[in-house]
Structure 1
């Protein structure tokens, strides 16, 4: 085994990692490569202090990036083993991934690697076709494989959740910190990070709706209106514990779920605003009727292919001497 990963392999691995979702597409990761070890760090310059004061969403994003890295490694012929939050004295170091050439293949990771370029957050209306039972089961199994739990919501729970969305919006009316922070990352034309206006999707004709209206600018609030599904397919992703490592686990589970959905022709978007308040987050978890800590509220559906959001160049995520 060579002492250092080939640069072209590093580029492929990190391009896959940074394709992962992150809150407002902040891409809050940085990487260090030493030999066959890739360390995944949080990038403290890309925090969301108003909407994500504890950094939980950043750690979920880092977990998703780590999962993509593992999939891409499999595609390059490497096996991986990893540790989460390995050093308490380095809180920004969330995962250490070791890559070794192997002839044994993980067919599931290899298959999911092919879905990475096609996964994106889809804020458009879904058709009325319910998800097939085998797809639902596959998504449950994907979350479980990474140590998390996915719970589908029934009609009553969906209505309760939409009430929590309304509660969140009412709280935000006078919270200029949140609005200002979001406007920094959302809207306009963007070619490297954040959410451009073109990816916001239409506004819903009804309110509250099972889609988050991310619009922050006057022009974005004049987008076309569409009717969204009356019976949205919503699920809650949770873990039993809520330490930083558990949040990274939630991110890995999230990305395995999303790539599994993409493989099945199913898109996803997020309705996470109630999770930004501790008391509402507790209420969201109660909807699952299980102990644990809610990390993501995911809306699934079948829609046409739409444009995703851009990513920064791989070199931006590496120390200058490694880029």
Structure 2
């Protein structure tokens, strides 16, 4: 049918989109396809009201999914025009509208990054002591800037402050049972379709605080093997100038471009975002960048090792009913 995406194309697009990272792998997206228009919605049934009460992390995840969808569109010969949070008052759960049109003008960078979507993963293993090469650091900064965000590398003095903020976060959580209960709902065990399985938690750190966030909540997960993590991790803060819903989506797109660029360079990533879950600590993180703006992610980069990705739900689970989708290839 003219003007319609085929079922095969929809499968390619949504499969790529949902490979994006999300907090605790909640996969908080729904997609509505109408002709060649793809709308990206938040899935309100997959919120984290204790750890993400404002929905900022969900919007970042939606931005990352949107970026993957744009990359996948290039592999199908489509150009993508998009708007972020187009109707914040009337449709707050609609976070991106993407219009796809056949085009001969290819975005070679998106086309190349699409190849790395299946290989991106969160790496919670210790890294070696070799710093990230300067040309890779610059490439990651450029990737963030291309999507309208800023990636700032932290020095050793900043690292000590971030570690202090992690301790502060952990002390606050001692009395916040809702946060612990929420994490236990999504983390640990087999997790065949969503959440973070025990197998993806990585080892426990022999030191504290550490370069890795220990998400383990279940008794068995607290008995994982211990490893020594790097003393001087390569950390960077991803931030945007403003802090509106559209900026959160922007941050997510920038995050995914950074992560795919890193994957292509043989660099993996994990996150130390726990201080960002408290507004006052989040402001302190941003101050370490020496720039105005709003911090969205604290990213630890290391040298990649082969690793499995966490599971995703079937594509059909993410699709809202809308206009017809053609069955042809």
TM-score band (shorter)? over 0.9
Moved over 2 A (4+): 319-323
1:4 aligns with 2:10: no
Q: Could you tell me whether the CA contact under 8 Å between 1:17 and 1:69 is conserved in 2? A: yes
Structure 1 unmatched ranges of 5 or more: none
Match of 2:75 in 1: 75
Report the Cα distance in structure 2 between the residues aligned to 1:127 and 1:2, rounded to whole angstroms. Answer: 53
Where 2:320 maps in the other structure, the secondary structure is coil
Report the Cα distance in structure 1 between the residues aligned to 2:44 and 2:134, rounded to whole angstroms. Answer: 41
Where 1:91 maps in the other structure, the secondary structure is coil
How far is 1:305 from its partner?
1.2
1:146 aligns with 2:142: no
How far is 1:111 from its partner?
0.5
State the Cα RMSD in Å.
1.1
Match of 2:87 in 1: 87
Match of 1:283 in 2: 284
TM-score (norm 2): 0.97
Match of 1:255 in 2: 256
Q: Could you tell me whether the CA contact under 8 Å between 2:147 and 2:253 is conserved in 1? A: yes
Match of 1:302 in 2: 303
How far is 1:320 from its partner?
5.2
Match of 2:21 in 1: 21
Match of 1:183 in 2: 184
Report the Cα distance in structure 2 between the residues aligned to 1:7 and 1:112, rounded to whole angstroms. Answer: 23
Bigger RCO of structures 1 and 2 (CA < 8 A, at least 6 apart): 2
1:47 aligns with 2:47: yes
Match of 1:207 in 2: 208
Match of 2:34 in 1: 34
Report the Cα distance in structure 1 between the residues aligned to 2:174 and 2:117, rounded to whole angstroms. Answer: 36
How far is 1:319 from its partner?
2.3
Report the Cα distance in structure 1 between the residues aligned to 2:30 and 2:295, rounded to whole angstroms. Answer: 26
Structure 2 unmatched ranges of 5 or more: none
1:292 aligns with 2:293: yes
Where 1:284 maps in the other structure, the secondary structure is helix
TM-score (norm 1): 0.99
Where 1:130 maps in the other structure, the secondary structure is coil
Count of matched residue pairs: 323
Report the Cα distance in structure 1 between the residues aligned to 2:11 and 2:305, rounded to whole angstroms. Answer: 30
